[in-house]
Structure formats: C-alpha cells, structure tokens
Amino acid sequence: MGIRKKFNGRTAFVTGGSSGIGRALCLALAKNGAAVTVADKNFSGADLVASEIIRGGGTAAAMKTDVTDPGSFRKALKASLKKFGRIDFLFNNAGVGFSCDFRDCTARDMDMVFNVNFRGAVNGIMEIYPLMIARGGGHIINIASMAGIIPFSINVPYTASKFALAGLTLSLMAEARDLGVNMTLVCPGVIKTAFYDSITVKKVDRKKYVSGLPSRMMGPERAAEIILRGVAGNKKMIVFPFHARFLFMINKIFPSLIYLLNKAMIKKFRKMSSN
C-alpha cells in the first residue's frame, strides 16, 4: 500500500517526537495526511514540531509525556484520544543511548536505560493494546535498533534494553496480529541525530567516542521515509541502512565475526578510557 493511502485521515502518536527520527516521523506522517500527536518529555521541543506541522496546514498536537511514567503516558494518550477520537498508530520511538565498559555500569544505569528504552514502550503498549483490540485494529511500531538484533560491546545496557524490546515485539507479533493489531519492529543502524549529543559515555570523552562512528550517516528524514514505507507495507521487521542489514546477516551466518568485531571495539574503547 502507498504511504499516503495508509496514513491519510488516520491518527498517530509518536513518542520522542521532538527530535531526530521521531521529529522526522511526525513531519512525514503529517505530510501524508495523518493527525499527529507529538509526545515528548521535552514539551517545548514537541510544541515546536506540532506548530511547524500546523503552520504547514497539517494537524498536530504536542503532549508532554515521560514514557517512563505510566501515569504521564496514560494522561497523554487519553488527551490524544479526546482530541483526535482514536489512535491508529503508536510509534514507540523515545530512547536514550548509553555506552560504557560494563565494569563501570551500575544497577541505576541499567534501570535508567531500561526504563526509557524498554519499559517506556511497554507502558504505551499496556495502555493502547487493549483499546486497539477492542476496536479491531491498530498498528504498534517499536523503534529498537540494530543493537536489538546484533550484540554490541561497550553498549551492554543499551543493547540489552533493545534486545528486550525486539523480543517483546517479535513474540507479541503473532498474538497481536491474530487480534487485528499489527506490529512492526524497526532496527535502524547509525542515523545522524542529536542522539549522539546526549548519549551517556562513561569514562571516555563523548566527542572522542562519537568521532569514531561512521561519518557518512543517514539523515533522520530518509530514515522516517524508510520506516513509513515499511509500515505502509505492513512489514514485520525493518532493518536499515545497508550497514545494519549487512551486520545482521553476518551475525546470522558468522556470529564469531561479530565477536571479533566486539573484541576490537572494547580494546579501542579501553584505550580511550580513564580507567
């Protein structure tokens, strides 16, 4: 199905909608005729995105939402339902990055990352899933990462949280689809967003760490286009760009190569570390 046909006249709720991939998703959804709820803990950022959509002739509302707080998520979903009548698409996109040598990781660090990247999505699903079942339709899109399907050293908390989200999505998929609720797992590789400005990097200078990432990254607008095309085609899983698909395939066929890559990555990280 074409993107416009899929989203025109429908409603979407996007968490982490004020920045990066979430912002690009909101703008693209609105451009394709959807009424969009821009949900973010950063309300002023969400408001800017909603205002940009409205100025361009689209329909949008900004909602302050902390996905880690079930009460805050519930309140925003209720307000969105009141405003737009229903939610056809829930994009669980809010996320935080976290890189460290795991010996420096605390239980609090793990909780913080899991609370946003995993529990944050669970909080939304718990609210919206029963409503979608009752209505006999809806689509939940979980933005995990290539780190949700390929293990990466130096990113244990992040990788574990995204594996949890991927596991939840893939295991719920058949159950949900049987009840008329579609699910899509999205696993992007490295995308050029503010994610890398706010990523926590323990004991290594963030700028130094980020400068080691691939320099030719895909932009969020192109990422949003790929995601929406996949959702319109009702894909179960969207893995992109090429480097993510390539590493995913290598991990399936030669997992020991990923292990070697991880050994090299942690060696490099430890060289940069103040440990």
DSSP SS3 for 167: helix
Rank residues 4 and 78 by Cβ distance to ligand NAI and give the closer one.
78
Is-catalytic flag, 158?
yes
Rank residues 75 and 133 by Cβ distance to ligand NAI and give the closer one.
75
The least distance separating ligand NAI from the CB of residue 97, rounded to whole angstroms, comes to: 6
DSSP SS3 for 40: strand
Rank residues 72 and 256 by Cβ distance to ligand NAI and give the closer one.
72
The least distance separating ligand NAI from the CB of residue 223, rounded to whole angstroms, comes to: 8
Bridge-based pairing state of the strands 138-143 and 89-92: parallel
Closest CA to 89 of 169, 19, 7, 31: 7
Rank residues 121 and 181 by Cβ distance to ligand NAI and give the closer one.
121
The least distance separating ligand NAI from the CB of residue 2, rounded to whole angstroms, comes to: 25
Rank residues 45 and 58 by Cβ distance to ligand NAI and give the closer one.
45
Q: Which residues bind ligand NAI (CB under 6 A)?
A: 15-16, 18-22, 40-42, 45, 65-68, 93-96, 116, 120, 143, 145, 188, 190-191, 193-195, 198
Packing angle of the helix pair 120-135, 156-178 (nearest 10 deg): 10
Closest CA to 10 of 121, 137, 131: 137
The least distance separating ligand NAI from the CB of residue 218, rounded to whole angstroms, comes to: 9
The least distance separating ligand NAI from the CB of residue 46, rounded to whole angstroms, comes to: 8
- 206-223 in b/e form (b: 16+ CB < 10 A) is beebeeeeeeebbebeeb
Q: Do 29 and 228 meet the contact criterion of CB atoms below 8 Å apart?
A: yes
Which of the following is catalytic: 129, 158, 196, 209? Answer: 158
The CA angle 115-120-124, to the nearest 5 degrees, is 155
- 227-238 in b/e form (b: 16+ CB < 10 A) is bbbbbbeebebb
| Both tokens assigned to 247 | 């590493």
List active site positions.
Answer: 158
